[in-house]
Structure formats: structure tokens, C-alpha cells
Amino acid sequence: MAPLQELAKEYAKARRDKKFRQQVAYYLREYVGRPTPLYFAERLTRELGGAKIYLKREDLLHTGAHKINNAVGQILLAKRMGKSRIIAETGAGQHGVATATVAAMFGMECVIYMGEVDMARQALNVYRMRLLGAEVRAVTAGQRTLKEAISEAMRDWVTNIRHTHYIIGSVLGAHPYPVMVRDFQAVIGREARRQILKHEKRLPDVLVACVGGGSNSIGLFHAFLKDKGVRMVGVEGGGRGIKPGDHAARFQKGGSLGVLQGTRTFVLQDEDGQIMLTHSVSAGLDYAAIGPEHSYLRDAGRIEYSYATDPDALAAFQYCARVEGIIPALESAHAIAWVQKHAKKLGRDAIVIANMSGRGDKDVMQAAELMKL
């Protein structure tokens, strides 16, 4: 509890500190590349024959995904706290790359924990992290994916709390992490709100984003939560189908209220509270729990949650590449899959913003093998 209490206290001070906020804004603008465009996907809109589709282009950020927003905020906080060593977990590798990047920029020691299975399917990102000077430690316990990587990072942190800061990559873990990560990612929605009002002179009808832990989605949704006319859809990893061990959709069959890794939220678990195996073609969505704010907003009826299966996501991955010339991350392809299915039903008068949370360079070889390209 001691490092969590220290972190909560320091973050409460930092978020009120104008100089700290200006620092974060400076690096997001000058180093990361914000603001990102809100791009009207003209051909995608025409081909699907329904709603007007905009893509929030987080894939254009330095390191290739939204993860850098949070990494910048947290490393500035770590520096403020006098920490000299950074650790993180990663699934798809994008958070690991973002963390290794900011650690290199500030000259800090960096260790990244990654499941052995994820290291194999995200080999490019493993090399990128090592090139940036980070030590990547393979986790061989359990399912050898994101859940086990988080556990190992937590063990490291409680052993080395005096000089180490743990940069959690999503809206997970104990307080203040879900709030802190959401705050750093909320820039996505603030920008999207300003941009759509400029482009269309009104708010969108639907926001769509993939949901693993849920940082890119809550980042997009947060600025619109009070706008009752804006529908919000989170798309989970449906894997091979909604059967035990075959998916990572926490709000579908097998999901119930529980506790995992410091978070009370919806968890894929059996009747005895044992965590179920999960599966998704996307390493970033392959996790048994979801951010607690998502559970709250789902129970409150503010956000609805759907899922896309592996075949849906792979089809959307290829479709988006061929229709718009944009290769999405497999995570983001889950959101595009939802848009493919629903754009026509929404009608031509509707406006949809889909969060392109990351680019698909990291997934090309895996997708090529799975799709026999």
C-alpha cells in the first residue's frame, strides 16, 4: 500500500500543478505529435453505404499508438517523484515500446515484463524495446500473456519501491492508476470533440473503440460522457467465439464481478472465482479483466459493449488496408469490424467516430500467417 499511497498523493498534487500540466502538453505536442487528425474516411463511408465515418488517428503518434500519451505523463510524474528506474508490463508490445521510448528520452533504467506467448507473436516490438535500451523479461508462468506479465511487474515494484516507478499501461490496477491513466488518455476525446464540431458543426452520433483494459476507449469516451445523445460502443475481443477459454469479452458469458490485480471489476472467472483462460488474436485485448470505470459505466447504462471475433477482426484488418490505405492494429480492427457491421443500419445521416488506437505494422506477419496471404 505504501507506494500506492505515495503515488496517489503525488498525482493529486501534480494534476493541480500548472507547470506539470504544461510539461505534459509540451512533450505531447513537440515529441509525440499531438494533436492527431480526425480523418474523414471517405471511401470507407462510400463502400459501406451508411453512416459518415471519421477515424481518430492515434496510429500516427510517435511509437504508433495511443500508449505514448500515458507513458509521457507517468514518466514526468516519476521524474517529479525522484524515481530513477522504470518498469512496465506489455501485451501487444505498444505500451512496452512507449515506455522504453520515454525511459530512453529521460535516461532512466527500464525493464519490461512480457508473456512468452506475446513475445513470439510481437517479435518486432520486442526488438524495438531492446533497441531503445530496455531489458525485456520473458514471463513463462501460467498462460504466458498479459495477466502474468502484470503479476511479475507488480512483484518487481513491491521489491524495489524506493527507486522504481511502475508505468501501468491501461486503466487497471489499484487506485490511482485507473484515474491517472484515464486522465492522460482523455486528450484523445478532448481533441476529437473540438475537431468534429469544427468539421460537422455538431457532435457525433456514435463513438466506437476497442476495449482490452480500456485506456484508448475511455480516452475517447470521457469528454462525451455528459452528452446523452452520443452513443458509445466498446468492442471486446470475441476470440474464437463466446465459449469458456476461447474469448476475452468480460461482459459476455463467463464475466462477473470480481477482483484481479488490485481492481474490483468484471472478470472472466468460474463459479469458484478462479480466473479463466482467455484468447484473442490481438495480444492487447487478451486479458481477463477490464478497467473498473468501464464496469461502472456499463452498469449505469452509459456505454454499451459488443465484441468482434478473430475472423471479424482479421477481415476488418484487411478491409481497412485495402479500402483506406490504413493498416490498423489488430486491436483497432475490432472497432472497424463493428463499424463494418453497423454503418448501414445507422443510416446516412449518422456520424461515427472510430478510434484508430494503433497502427498494424506489429501485426502484419501474424495476420499474413493467419490469413495465408
Residues labelled catalytic: 67, 89, 357
Any idea how long the chain is? Answer: 373
CA distance 214 to 216: 6
CB atoms within 10 A of CB 289: 33
> Cβ neighbours of residue 299 under 8 Å, at least 6 residues apart?
none
Strand 85-90, strand 52-57: pairing: unpaired
For 302, list phi and psi in degrees, rounded to 5.
-85, -35
Report yes or no: 255 and 261 within 8 Å, Cβ to Cβ.
Answer: no
Q: Strands, E, within 242-337: which ranges?
A: 255-260, 263-268, 304-309
Rg (CA), the chain: 19
Q: Which cell is 50 given? A: 451508411
User: Sheet of 135-139: strands edge to edge?
Assistant: 135-139, 109-115, 85-90, 164-166
Q: Which of 373, 367, 340, 356 is nearest to 122 (CA)?
A: 367
Number of DSSP helices (H) and strands (E) in the chain, helices first: 15, 12
For 193, list phi and psi in degrees, rounded to 5.
-65, -50
Upper half-sphere CA count for residue 23 (Cβ side, 13 Å): 15
Question: H/E element holding 106?
Answer: helix 94-106
CA distance 314 to 157: 36
> What residues pair up with 38 in beta bridges, in sequence order?
56
> What residues pair up with 267 in beta bridges, in sequence order?
256, 289
